[in-house]
Amino acid sequence: MAGALVRLRAARWSRPALALVVAVLLVLLPLVSSPYVNYQVTTMAVFAVALLGLNVVMGYAGQVSLGQSAFIGIGAYVAGYGTTHGWPLLLTFLLCCLLPGVVGMLVALAAARLRGLALAMVTIALPIVGTPVAKRLSDVTGGSQGLTVSWLDPPSWVALADDQWRYYVVVAIAAVVFLLTRNLVRGRVGRSFAIVRDNEAVALSMGISPYRTKVLAFTLASTIGGASGFLYLAVVQYTSPETLSFGTSINLVVAMVIGGSGSIAGAVLGAVYYVLVPVLAGQLDASRTALLSGAFLLLVLFVLPGGLVSLPRRVQQLLTRRRRRSATPSDDPGDRTGTPVLTSDGRTP
């Protein structure tokens, strides 16, 4: 009992404490690590934002979206156009969110009445159509060659190298997006997402329109996707039709599932996977990157169906099971997984 209380109190403090430690590490990291590591971590922040957007619509609201790459692509092109035309940074950023957001909303207004496979097909249309369009509009996009920019150099008043400055800008924006989204998925709106995902009949009786809720989720996902497009160009300094290709979308969905869908931390872990696994697999055996990535995907799905984010819970589960098995089983109430463990007249069996 006392042990449980201590654990409870520890649980209450461990989250803010962990957040603080992570924040301090994130601030100090670029000062001590190499430009290469900074570049990789910044890229993770970019894809964490992209995955967060995908998570809003797929993980939280439960609507399949295979078009997230299109919004990253649009965001990156808007950012590229803005920098080459000397727009103010803030305006560029806002347009990078707004334009994909509007595109996402228009598609959702038309498609959100569809379900399952039909909906997935419509969302595929964006990257499928977007890739050739991007190649065509070569004045804006640089065509198949892509668009190379040179922007977001550190201002003269900061004594930071390019990689450090970009790291701070990207991570700061990502942190704000994460904070806002975290707030959103917790309260009133988050609950409406969850019930539209879980049971539309109940949603209706709670005064929630599934259609509007889905349109909102798609709009947010595409807006956040657009923001990650801005960040992408800031880090990579280059974008091409490849960014918004269908393949990118699929890889994002895979990374979201691996990280853990419907989870804020899952988006971060998914991004770590997205950036790190090709690097690691390439170092092991460059000719078998795809094979190794696929094997890792299968491994995670079999061992951790809830994604990497469920690892601590899974480990705890295994430990308790082992402990229970080693304890005397004679008067143990037994393994009650799957049956109600609480009854109307008692708290515990």
Partner 1 sequence: MTDDASPGTGVPALQVVDVTLRFGGIRVLDGVSFEVAPRTVFGLVGPNGAGKTSLFNCISGHYHPGSGSILVDGVETRSTPAWRMARLGLARTFQHPALQLGETVLENVLLGAHSLLPGGPVSWSLRLPRTRTAERAARAEALELLERTGLRWAADTRAGELSHGLHKGVELCRALMSHPRLLLLDEPAAGLSHGEVDRFVETVATVRADLGLTIVVVEHHMGLISAITDRVMVLDHGAKLMEGTAAQAQVDPRVVEAYLGREVAEDEPA
List interacting residues with partner 1 (CB under 8 A): 180-181, 183-184, 187-192, 194-195, 198-199, 201-210, 216, 220, 340-345, 347
Which is nearest to 178 in space by CA: 263, 60, 71, 61? 263
Select 144 or 209, whichever has its Cβ closest to partner 1.
209
> Minimum distance from CB of 81 to partner 1 (Å)?
27
> Minimum distance from CB of 202 to partner 1 (Å)?
5
What are the Cα distances from residue 86, in Å, to 40, 142, 157, 168, 245? Answer: 27, 17, 20, 22, 27
**Helix axes 264-284 and 162-186, enclosed angle (nearest 10):** 140
Helix (H, G, I), strand (E, B) or coil at 55: helix
Select 164 or 310, whichever has its Cβ closest to partner 1.
310
> Minimum distance from CB of 87 to partner 1 (Å)?
24
Residue type, 248: T
> Minimum distance from CB of 284 to partner 1 (Å)?
37
> Minimum distance from CB of 26 to partner 1 (Å)?
22
Select 30 or 62, whichever has its Cβ closest to partner 1.
62
Write down the H helix ranges in 112-245: 116-136, 138-141, 162-186, 188-198, 200-205, 210-236
Select 155 or 187, whichever has its Cβ closest to partner 1.
187
Q: Locate 96 and state its tokens.
A: 């990078």
Select 330 or 343, whichever has its Cβ closest to partner 1.
343
Select 24 or 179, whichever has its Cβ closest to partner 1.
179
Query: What is the Cβ-side half-sphere exposure of residue 1, based on CA atoms within 13 angstroms?
Result: 1
Select 158 or 180, whichever has its Cβ closest to partner 1.
180
> Minimum distance from CB of 18 to partner 1 (Å)?
21
Give yes or no for a contact between 214 and 108, defined as CB atoms under 8 angstroms apart.
yes
> Minimum distance from CB of 185 to partner 1 (Å)?
9
Phi and psi at 320, nearest 5°, equal: -60, -40
Select 12 or 288, whichever has its Cβ closest to partner 1.
12
> Minimum distance from CB of 143 to partner 1 (Å)?
37
Q: If you ran DSSP here, which 8-state letter would residue 306 be given?
A: T
d(CA 110, CA 338) in angstroms, rounded, equals 41
d(CA 94, CA 207) in angstroms, rounded, equals 32
Phi and psi at 239, nearest 5°, equal: -145, 155
